[in-house]
Amino acid sequence: MAYLIPLFILFLSSVVFSSWRKRKSDSYSSLNENKLPVNMVVPPSGFLSGILRKAAVKSGLILLFTIITPRRGSIAAMPLKPAHEVAEILELFRDIANRPENAGVAVQMLGEIDSSLRWSMQYAAEYYLRQSDRRDDIWQLFIQGVILLKGKASLAEAGLLLHRVADSGFLPACTFLSDLYLSQGAWDKALQAVIAASEAGYAPAIHCHAYNIYLSTLGKIFQHRSMSEAFRLFSLAAEKGFPPALTVVGEMYLQGYGAAVAPDPSIALYYLERAYKAGESSCIPLLRRARAAVGECILGF
């Protein structure tokens, strides 16, 4: 009779766990309609995966672990604003951003809709102002394309405008065109849209290029090959000082990425401190973790 007690406890635990998972699943599905994807996030590793990864590192089997355990990534999300608020913000943005020297103020406004735009728009304005033969009509077409894209007014028209601006040689338009294709699930087009600007050395495009390659690794068995290339490009964008890339490279060094990136808290701390000094506030939690990890290494834990 005594053996029934553990079985009853196990049964009760499974019922409670199933109920908890159902509530969690329902809460996620109810939020899906009010979410807007943000640009980049390195997928988290679960508790069990973390234990297995540490064991693989210590036993020298990390390459095998990487090959047989494909990762599933997640893209962070933020709540959408009501349509009338978006329209008001976009109208103000249009008036201010028509003069690229006002990009700082305009970017803050657009950040109310999508915080991931901060660095992309700042770099776009700086790129435009550096051009000796800059054309105001190109900048205004670019702004209009961004407004149509982020305001969800007309993605087809946004695509036409951004294509026109990108074809004129305005590299920042390529990253937004890539985002447009990515939002439509056209990964190949998203990658092709950004390659030329990436090869030209435009930091946000290099970062976008790396992100698109990173997305291609999710769920693939031999993911470490593409992940190594994504890491190389993220590192290149980071060396150019692009704050989001500094954060991503710091996180990859902090937690390790199998055969592609060996964990190194000291290097992670270097990149995350650079990101923080550049004004990237999203790196603060990672920076704290890196400092704690470096402290543990110094103390021999």
- Of 140, 160, 194, the residue at which a domain comes to its end is 194
9 part of a folded domain = no
296 part of a folded domain = yes
129 and 143 in a single domain? The answer is: yes
Q: How far is CA 266 from CA 50, 242, 289, in A?
A: 20, 20, 11
151 part of a folded domain = yes
Q: Going residue by residue through the chain, which has 301 residues, state the pLDDT in tens, using 9 for 90 and above.
A: 554 455 445 545 554 444 544 444 444 333 333 322 233 333 333 444 444 444 444 444 444 333 333 343 333 333 445 556 656 666 666 666 666 666 666 666 665 555 667 888 889 888 888 887 777 788 888 988 888 887 766 788 889 999 999 999 999 999 999 999 988 888 889 999 999 999 999 999 999 999 998 887 765 544 556 888 999 999 999 999 999 999 999 999 999 887 778 999 999 999 999 999 998 988 999 999 999 988 866 555 4
Question: Which pairs with CB-CB distance under 8 Å and at least 24 residues apart come from 278-286?
Answer: 278/241, 278/243, 278/246, 279/243, 280/119, 280/243, 280/244, 280/246, 280/247, 282/247, 283/243, 283/246, 283/247, 283/250, 286/247, 286/250, 286/251, 286/254
pLDDT number for residue 83: 59
Q: In total, how many domains does the chain have?
A: 2
23 part of a folded domain = no
pLDDT number for residue 285: 94
- Of 139, 160, 194, the residue at which a domain comes to its end is 194
31 part of a folded domain = no
pLDDT number for residue 145: 87
200 part of a folded domain = no
99 and 123 in a single domain? The answer is: yes
pLDDT number for residue 121: 84
pLDDT number for residue 92: 61
255 and 186 in a single domain? The answer is: no
1 part of a folded domain = no
93 and 146 in a single domain? The answer is: yes
Residue that is written with structure tokens 């695509």 in the block: 159
174 and 122 in a single domain? The answer is: yes
Range of the domain at 159: 76-194
291 part of a folded domain = yes
231 and 122 in a single domain? The answer is: no
pLDDT number for residue 271: 96
